[in-house]
A = this chain, B = another copy of it.
Amino acid sequence: MKPMIVFFLLILASCKPTPVPLSVSNAQQPHDPVKETIIDGLSRPWSMVFLSEDEVLLSEKDGDLLRINLRTGQKKVIRGFPQDRFDTLLFRKAFSKPRTFPASLPDSTKVTYNAGILEVLTDPDFQNNQQVYISYVAKGEGGTTTKVIRAKLQKDSLTQIQPLLVATPFSEGLFHYGGGMAFGPEGKLYITVGERIFNELDEPVLPVAQDVTDRRGKIYRLNPDGGIPDDNPDFGPDAVPGVFAIGIRAAQGITLEPETDQLWFSEHGTRQGDEINVLQAGANYGWPVVTTGGYRGMEYEPPTIEGAEFTDPIWYWLQTVAPTGLCFYTGNEFPLWKNNLIVPGLSRGSLWRIRLEGETVKSLEELFVDDRERSRKAVMGPNGKLYILTEDLQNRTNGKIVRIKPE
């Protein structure tokens, strides 16, 4: 006889007040996940942050910064976005089909433009200060680059805009911006910036991601006002301000692990080499000197960097995933997913659940392989619900907010 039945029978037999075993009430039947579209018709959604149980701030890469009510479906464009924003709509009108990069390589190895509005974050004290943080692709002399601003969100307008980071130089290729942002447990702002070139093709003598005097290919740690924290790692007197880690190629996703206060980030490889990393102060993640994948220019031989020590990824895939805006699952709807890493992938529209024990990957599940959508970002709601931002796999239209819920 099952212990639970024995327990019930004991209650029935004795008819005495017996302590209620609370664990029983927590027993949950496990369920498989299904998708529910909450909002559609978005223009390549990149990032989303909750303002309340029902309201989110959402960045469309090719559209606007929006306030959306998930309950009513109402969308409002946030006004006052900086004028130096690279306008992807104008860009798309200028070409009969999207330009791809790098121009010298076969189509199958190219990427389309990554430019647009990228991450949107609220300040940890947003309820009191209404500060928001936005990374986007800004125009400047010679091209574009990754820019981060802080602004006050007032009456659906951005006001008191302050630039926090401009990852100069501006340059022509519309790719490898990075732009991922997260707040650390200590209230500092972490920002990923991509290398902005195809290193294997341009072959600078010292790769930009390894060059501490170059703003590209780095992860930054800033005070919320853009100041440089005193306790940042020391990359030497010539290092650009705010550098926290180097050797980055095209990291787009960065997130805080609530249980450990560690930051994790995803990194795009070129031929495979897609990775998950734990962020460490002063670390060098190796690009392009070491990579778990290959190089786009197959013949490329990276230079040796004297004295460099490289930090290995926690995980790398043997197939192309293009992992992006990851997050830790903190809800209760899927008991086995607790503190698992949820990783959306742009390539082939994949969504991954990674079970960890500390910094060790125990298992990986690829979800919804029969219903592939290009997935850019996973977000936990304040209600413990999991959402992903998606777009159509083939033509990248009809961006959606999708809730992942138990069957």
Contacts and interface: CB of A to CB of B under 8 A. Distances in A.
Contacts of A336: 30-32, 336
Contacts of A319: 318-319
Contact of A370 (B4, B318, B361): B361
A366 B363 contact: yes
A25 B12 contact: no
Interface in A162-221: none
Contacts of A4: 24-25, 27
Identical chains bound together, number: 2
Contacts of A365: 353, 363-366
A355 interface: yes
A363 B368 contact: yes
Interface in A106-127: none
Interface in A13-44: 15, 17-18, 20, 22, 24-32
A404 to B, nearest CB: 12
A84 to B, nearest CB: 40
Contacts of A5: 20, 22, 25
A161 interface: no
Please classify how large the interface on chain A is, using the bins under 10, 10 to 19, 20 to 34, 35 or more: 35 or more
Contacts of A353: 365
A258 interface: no
A335 B29 contact: yes
A318 B347 CA distance: 12
Interface in A347-403: 353, 355, 357, 360-370
Contact of A30 (B25, B335, B369): B335
A360 B320 CA distance: 22
A347 to B, nearest CB: 10
Contact of A360 (B360, B366, B370): B370
Contacts of A368: 362-363
A305 interface: no
Interface in A292-340: 318-320, 335-336
Contacts of A363: 32, 365-369
A32 B369 contact: no
Interface of A: 2, 4-5, 8-9, 11-12, 15, 17-18, 20, 22, 24-32, 318-320, 335-336, 353, 355, 357, 360-370
Shortest 8 CB-CB distances between A and B: which pairs? A365-B365, A318-B319, A4-B25, A27-B27, A15-B15, A30-B30, A2-B25, A363-B367
21 contacts: A4-B24, A15-B15, A27-B27, A27-B28, A27-B29, A28-B29, A28-B30, A29-B335, A30-B30, A32-B363, A353-B365, A357-B370, A360-B370, A361-B369, A362-B367, A363-B365, A363-B366, A363-B367, A364-B365, A364-B369, A365-B365
Given A8-B25, A336-B336, 19 more contacts: A2-B25, A4-B25, A4-B27, A5-B22, A8-B20, A12-B18, A24-B24, A26-B29, A30-B336, A32-B336, A32-B355, A32-B362, A32-B363, A357-B370, A362-B369, A362-B370, A363-B368, A364-B366, A365-B366
